[in-house]
Amino acid sequence: VIYPPHSKLSDKEKTNICYLSFPDSNSGCLGDTQFCFRLRRSSGRKVSLCCFLDQLDRDLPVYLKKDPAYYYGYVYFRQVRDKSLKRGYFQKSLVLISKLPYVHLFRTVLKRIAPEYFEKSEAFLEAVCSDVDRWPPPIPGEILHLPIMGIIMKLRIPTYRDKPGTTQIVQNMHQADAQISMALPTVHEVDLFRCFCPVFFHIQMLWELVLLGEPLVVMAPSPSESSETVLALVSCISPLKYCSDFRPYFTIHDSEFKEYTTRTQAPPSVILGVTNPFFAKTLQHWPHIIRIGDIKLPGEVPKQVKVKKLKNLKTLDSKPGVYTSYKPYLNKDEEIIKHLQKGVQQKRPTEAQSVILRRYFLELTESFIIPLERYVASLMPLQKSISPWKSPPQLRQFSQEDFMKTLEKAGPQLTSGLKGDWIGLYRHFLKSPNFDGWFRSRQKEMTQKLEALHLEALCNENLVFWSQKHTEVETVDLVLKLKNKLLQADREHLPVKTDTLKKLQTHIDDIILALPDDLQDILLKTGTT
């Protein structure tokens, strides 16, 4: 059943969703299980260019921007014994499909609605949808109130202006308020410490592997563990965006199965979460494999474990651990391990442990990325080189060698005490999809900034005076160029003040008014082409 009924999914998408909505039979998930998957949208489908959502997307941090090529599926699966059914079990999944990566929000929504849906069936979904129809648009930075089946969820979607690593607390205002409302501490974060617990001693090496976009497989006993671990891995390089594909739960029925498991070429840059024992055989040629047992919160400190050799990974019942021959570039940070171990001994709440771990990853990523940010900012032409009468100047080329030279004086050692082969890590990173994605988005931002500065330079000129000294043909050409500039500013959302745009429009109107009547008519008609 699809609800609302007018939702359009291709046959391929429906098949993929069906297979991804149930745990593999070997997982033996009795009771209720929640997990999530990520699904490639069918090609050839019209990607709806909803300007409104794109506008909201602009204010999000990069790692929360929607990817038009993918859907997320949030699943609530129930399996209970039922003798009245032929198979002896009641097995059903309720799946919420969205373009938004708000894992915690949709997990909370499903927890609220799925148990009732299993008892009340389709009519109940209609009531749920009418609640969802009343939700405000997902505007980043605002406190949103979302009604859902008798309660109101209060939450805030982060914006790119938020200081990384801080979460603005959404609180219930009054005691009475607490009865009907529920404040969500986050819309997208997973329980980082719980997810990394099984591979506790290798967190820094895993951070390097994710940063470099290395092929990674997470082999787990159930989809909830595989999906949470994959999402934790992807988020550990935040505020950098992980730019390759990642599948929190991947099955042998997936339409990309052949593409991702072929041995004729090197494994792709992707993180896969799997539960089927068959993958132990099909993916044993992959360079980095994480095996996790059941995720439980440790009552005791995990034992120190060495990285295991890949050749020891033959079956799915191999011991939990990280199987790889990768040699980390950076020396191990013993402090974070001790800090978290102490937390386990002192029974520190898992939320607090997650905050410590998230801050550690954030500081590591920022120490790594700040020298790159600093170097890329130096590629911007000087403001005095921007002339209103010439095209905006180009950004200078990124030179790997020039960047490497800056590291001696302004490298990660300014903010991180970690020793190791930082240069080697940068060289490897510069070849990765994560660098490519990061650099492209910085390039776009800086090019738009140059366009905006060029517009401002034009506004500060006396354009009417200029037009009086030039021929009508040149003046008409200028008017058309200025109109195109205005259109571009609107279309590309250039970072220009509204006053600047108004000023430019006034310049255009004044120039047109100074022209002969016949030209005025033509130019006023060619308003926005």
Asked if the model's pLDDT at residue 53 lies above 70, the reply is: no
Asked if the model's pLDDT at residue 316 lies above 60, the reply is: no
Asked if 231 and 36 touch (Cβ cutoff 8 Å), the reply is yes
Torsions phi, psi for 75 (to 5 deg): -115, 140
Q: Per residue in 156-168, pLDDT tens?
A: 999 988 887 776 6
Q: Per residue in 58-105, pLDDT tens?
A: 888 888 988 889 999 999 999 888 888 888 888 899 999 999 999 999
Residue carrying structure tokens 């043909």: 473
Look up residue 341 and give its two tokens: 């171990």
Asked if 248 and 70 touch (Cβ cutoff 8 Å), the reply is no
Q: How many residues does the chain have?
A: 529
Q: How confident is the model at residue 527 (pLDDT cuts 50, 70, 90)?
A: low
C-alpha to C-alpha distances, 55 to 72, 141, 160, nearest whole angstrom: 20, 13, 13
**Of residues 293 and 443, which shows the higher confidence score?**
443
Q: Per residue in 437-446, pLDDT tens?
A: 999 999 999 9
Q: List CB contacts of 499: < 8 A, sequence separation 6 or more.
A: none
Report which of 275, 228, 253 is spatially closest to residue 14, judged by C-alpha positions: 253
Which pLDDT score is estimated for 296? 58
Which pLDDT score is estimated for 259? 87
Q: How far is it, in rounded angstroms, from Cα 454 to Cα 136? A: 37
The mean pLDDT value for 515-519 works out to: 78
Asked which of 87-101, 227-241, 466-480 is least confident by mean pLDDT, the reply is 466-480
Which pLDDT score is estimated for 68? 86
Q: Per residue in 103-154, pLDDT tens?
A: 999 999 999 999 999 988 778 888 999 999 999 999 999 999 999 988 999 9
Please tell me whether the overall predicted TM-score, pTM, comes out greater than 0.85 for this model: yes
Look up residue 317 and give its two tokens: 């019942």
Which pLDDT score is estimated for 16? 92
Q: How far is it, in rounded angstroms, from Cα 351 to Cα 169? A: 14
Q: How far is it, in rounded angstroms, from Cα 106 to Cα 108? A: 5
Q: How far is it, in rounded angstroms, from Cα 354 to Cα 66? A: 25
Q: For residue 391, what is the DSSP state?
A: P
**Of residues 44 and 280, which shows the higher confidence score?**
280
Q: How far is it, in rounded angstroms, from Cα 396 to Cα 407? A: 19
Look up residue 346 and give its two tokens: 């002192």
Which pLDDT score is estimated for 528? 47
Which pLDDT score is estimated for 163? 82
Which pLDDT score is estimated for 318? 67
Which pLDDT score is estimated for 42? 83
Share of the chain above pLDDT 90, in %: 43
Q: How far is it, in rounded angstroms, from Cα 405 to Cα 223? A: 46
Q: How far is it, in rounded angstroms, from Cα 307 to Cα 327? A: 10
C-alpha to C-alpha distances, 294 to 199, 223, 357, nearest whole angstrom: 12, 11, 20
Angle formed by the axes of helices 400-410 and 422-429, nearest 10°: 150
The mean pLDDT value for 333-342 works out to: 90
Asked which of 53-57, 145-149, 226-230, 284-288 is least confident by mean pLDDT, the reply is 53-57
Asked if the model's pLDDT at residue 248 lies above 70, the reply is: yes
Asked if the model's pLDDT at residue 426 lies above 60, the reply is: yes
Write the burial class of residue 101 (CB in 10 Å: 0-12 exposed, 13-18 middle, 19+ buried).
buried
Asked if 194 and 298 touch (Cβ cutoff 8 Å), the reply is no
The mean pLDDT value for 231-257 works out to: 93
Q: Per residue in 168-227, pLDDT tens?
A: 666 655 555 555 788 888 899 999 998 998 888 899 999 999 999 999 999 999 999 999
Q: How far is it, in rounded angstroms, from Cα 483 to Cα 485? A: 5
Asked if 71 and 97 touch (Cβ cutoff 8 Å), the reply is yes
Which pLDDT score is estimated for 111? 94
Q: How far is it, in rounded angstroms, from Cα 230 to Cα 249? A: 8
The domain limits of the chain are 11-137, 192-357, 361-432, 462-526
Single-letter code of the amino acid located at 342: K
Which pLDDT score is estimated for 49? 47
Asked if the model's pLDDT at residue 47 lies above 60, the reply is: no
Q: Cβ–Cβ contacts within 10 Å for residue 502, how many?
A: 11
Asked if the model's pLDDT at residue 529 lies above 50, the reply is: no
Q: How confident is the model at residue 48 (pLDDT cuts 50, 70, 90)?
A: low
Radius of gyration of the chain (CA): 27
Single-letter code of the amino acid located at 503: K
